[in-house]
Structure 1
Amino acid sequence: MSLLRALQISKHFRQRSGPWQSSDRPILDQVCLSIGYGETIALVGKSGCGKSTLARILMGLESPSSGYAMFEEQRVDPRDKALMRRLFLSVQMVFQDPITAVSPRYTVGEIISEPLRFLKRFTRVQIRERVSELLAAVHLSDRDYDKYPQQMSGGQLQRVCIARALAPGPRLIILDEAVSNLDLHLQIQILDLFSELQHSQDVSYLFISHDLRLVERFCTKVLIMDEGRIIEAASVQSPLFLKSRQGRALTDAILPAFPVSLAS
């Protein structure tokens, strides 16, 4: 059984072309994908191809124009409160920019405990214990509990966001360009952390990216997206070989290979 699926999902946005004229701009076109338990799937494409829109639809945060998402073989419907609660318990997201993903008015402990307050029925003591466990899991210190986001580095703050995503015990985490704002050394550290968490927390990933170097290091399957359509699916191997014109263009456009000291 698939954990999360997209079935013939299309999305159009209405845009004005004049004072009295408007037209539909296609963002997604008949997209199908399936994410199973324990998988790490990459969704790769240039900016504006529809990757993040698809992620929001899979999470029930946005409605498709046609088609639908399936969570554990049930159709995702934002009106079904019980289903959406189970979805948010099982599927979480980590976004590209950790600074805009958190409130500067909340401490690290408050940020990480947010899903526990809204999705779990934990006592205050249980929340404190769980946050301490999560800080350790992402290699932060319990001393960071009372810090504010502005007291953390970019890499540390992204670890806070990862801990928040892990808090309710999800089966799948959608990583929406989650390492693209970090420098190369931090990217490798976070990818290694994701791999470690996959084994310790039994979590799957949908890794949204534009960098095939990271995909080759981290993922087992890659889906190439172009102009709202998935145009190629391939197993990840080294070196990565893609057949489609768009896939080859992405391969040619990536940065040089990792330095030897980072590649291992």
Structure 2
Amino acid sequence: MSDDSLFNTYRDKSYRFISFDGLYSTIENQRLRFSRADQFNDPLDNSPFLMDLDWENLSKKGHKLIQHATKIAFERAFSSTYICCFSKTYTTEKSYLMWAHYGKSHTQVCFEIDFSKHDYCGSPSEVVYPESLLEKRNSKKIKEGELGMFVVTNKSNIWDYEEEVRLVFDIRYVKNLMDLKITNDGKNLDVPFNPKLISKVIFGYKSLEFDQLKTISFFNNIGHMPRYEQMIVDPLTLKLKPIMYEPSI
């Protein structure tokens, strides 16, 4: 099996939904923020319940023991794993929910990295959304050494609107930890990043011109000019679509 198959490698344009403050920090500090695997909002995302444990036996011993056993197992396997999430698109009907949730009611921003041109952190891994996480977990087809990628790249299909790809970073395999910054009591990892890898910036429909112009200023200060777009509502289709950004006069 090739590494691309094992890691669900995705080599294409990908989009990071982020707050304006988060984008400013990314540009100014030249670091991309990752979150530890146990910090996500879905209890079945990066979940110890997807691990190969004796669930039939554990289920007989009560909730508290299950909670304790899964916590210990997960910490041993994934406490060093950090993730940065992207989406495959920002323009589809499903992306409307991305702008609503991660774009904070369409007020924030997203940016593009073309992973077909830039091999940053080994390129992202594509998330899959099986019809049944339970059946997939119990299928017993997960080979030794593949558990980690299975856990971090399989999510409930209620999340398939995200069309997610993930940069996955395990600090156990980093030779020079001095380049990394672990922050927020270990909940986040700031990884060196060249903001000139950002090829496009898309402003949310309700974003403020103040934030838009500030973003452009940040990029001008580092001598970089990505493509800028603005999301609008098309009155003929009642759908979101991007147009080339033009500041008001």
Asked if these proteins are the same fold (TM beyond 0.5), I'd say no
Structure ranking higher on relative contact order (CA contacts 8 Å, 6+ apart): 2
Query: Shorter-chain TM-score: what band?
Result: under 0.3
Question: Normalized against structure 2, the TM-score is what?
Answer: 0.25
Question: Normalized against structure 1, the TM-score is what?
Answer: 0.24
